[in-house]
Amino acid sequence: MDWRDRPVFVTGATGLLGRWLVPMLCDLGATVTALVRDRVPASPLDPRATEVRGVVEDADLCRRIMTEYETDTVFHLAAQTIIGTARRDPLATFRTNVGGTWNVLDGARRAGVRRIVVASSDKVYGVHSGLCDEQLPLRGRSPYDVSKVCADHLALSYGAVVTRSGNMFGGGDLNWNRLVPGTIRSAMRGTRPILRSDGTMVRDYVFVQDVVRAYQLLAEHPEAVGAYNIGANPMPTMGMCRLILAATDRPDLEPVIGGPASDEIPSQMLDATRLRGLGWVPSEIHAGLRETVQWYRDHL
């Protein structure tokens, strides 16, 4: 697949994933139009992309962008991703995650877009034991999880490719409530990191640049259909916290146990066999953490 001059539309372009996906697409020669809700000084949009200010809740705007820019490929990343925020304001979360996805999908249909890749989440699986593959039923129960289940089903009904990623980490994540950036900041300040749980919850961690590569592969392979898991490193949150502290050269800092987390899924591990079948190979987690730590050292 030749990306040169290919018109691409990216929503959520200044989020953790978007800030790495957009430069990659520009490097490949794509003509990128990015929908940006808020300007983030620490996460600026690549200047080679065309910025359009707005939100995915605006159906007319989404349709206009894809029609006027003759979009060929869409990466829909925009979402309200904070579980706590979803609990406090579920309606706004549904408007963004469900209604926004609907607007992008139908706008793409009307504009004749050929390829759509939609960001879902591993949270759609809900509580399962063992590895989750793409054939499992979706059992999300909390407001955030349900919003992604709805968006997931909508995307598949429109023929989009759906990605169900584990916990992404990488430079540019400024949500300090998340384990990786929060622990790095604490280590850089010489303070003990605080876990939101008792440290036993298992999550599948994946380096953001590996996720970017997965999106590229899914867009390039016309035979790729349905849902694809993106996961690489399942481990307890305490184990991940200690790896981060080691990467920041502060293994002496003992994490503070925050106590049992409410409404959290105990264990999530992803089977990424389908994605690996397309040639996807994740990087080694220690290398990803070193790159991530270096980003924060350079930018904080």
| pLDDT score of 83 | 85
Instruction: Find the mean pLDDT for residues 147-161.
Output: 98
Instruction: Give the list of residues 6+ apart from residue 56 with CB closer than 8 angstroms, or none.
Output: 11, 35, 62, 76, 78, 96, 99, 100, 101, 103, 104
Residue 224 sits in which domain range? 7-169+206-232+268-282
Instruction: Find the mean pLDDT for residues 159-175.
Output: 96
Instruction: Find the mean pLDDT for residues 251-258.
Output: 93
Specify the range with the lowest mean pLDDT, choosing from 35-44, 174-183, 259-268.
259-268
Residues 220 and 14: their CA atoms lie apart, in Å, by 23
Instruction: Find the mean pLDDT for residues 24-52.
Output: 92
| pLDDT score of 261 | 65
| pLDDT score of 19 | 94
**Catalytic, out of 69, 125, 144, 228:** 144
pTM score: 0.95
Share of the chain above pLDDT 90, in %: 89
| pLDDT score of 129 | 84
Average pLDDT, the chain: 95
Classify strands 233-236 and 202-207 as parallel, antiparallel or unpaired.
antiparallel
φ, ψ at 249 (rounded to 5°): 60, 30
With CA atoms as reference, report the closest residue to 53 among 42, 41, 43, 39: 39
Instruction: Find the mean pLDDT for residues 188-211.
Output: 95
* 113 in any annotated domain: yes
User: What is the domain-level CATH number for residue 69?
Assistant: 3.40.50.720
Residues 267 and 132: their CA atoms lie apart, in Å, by 10
pLDDT of 82 higher than 90: no
CA distances (Å), 109 to each of 72, 78, 153, 220, in order? 11, 18, 16, 19
pLDDT of 282 higher than 90: yes
Residues 278 and 299: their CA atoms lie apart, in Å, by 34
* 160 in any annotated domain: yes
* 1 in any annotated domain: no
- Helix 100-111, helix 143-157: angle, nearest 10: 10
Which residue, chain included where needed, has tokens 């600026």? 44
CA trace torsion 77, 187, 210, 97 (10° rounding)? -20
* 258 in any annotated domain: no
Annotate 232-284 with DSSP letters as a single string: -EEEEHHHHHHHHHHHTT-TTPPPBP--PPTT--SB-EE--HHHHTTT--PPP
φ, ψ at 164 (rounded to 5°): -115, 95
Classify strands 31-36 and 115-119 as parallel, antiparallel or unpaired.
unpaired
69 catalytic per annotation: no
| pLDDT score of 209 | 98
* 33 in any annotated domain: yes
* 93 in any annotated domain: yes
| pLDDT score of 196 | 85
Which residue, chain included where needed, has tokens 């979009």? 71
Number of structural domains in the chain = 1
* 16 in any annotated domain: yes
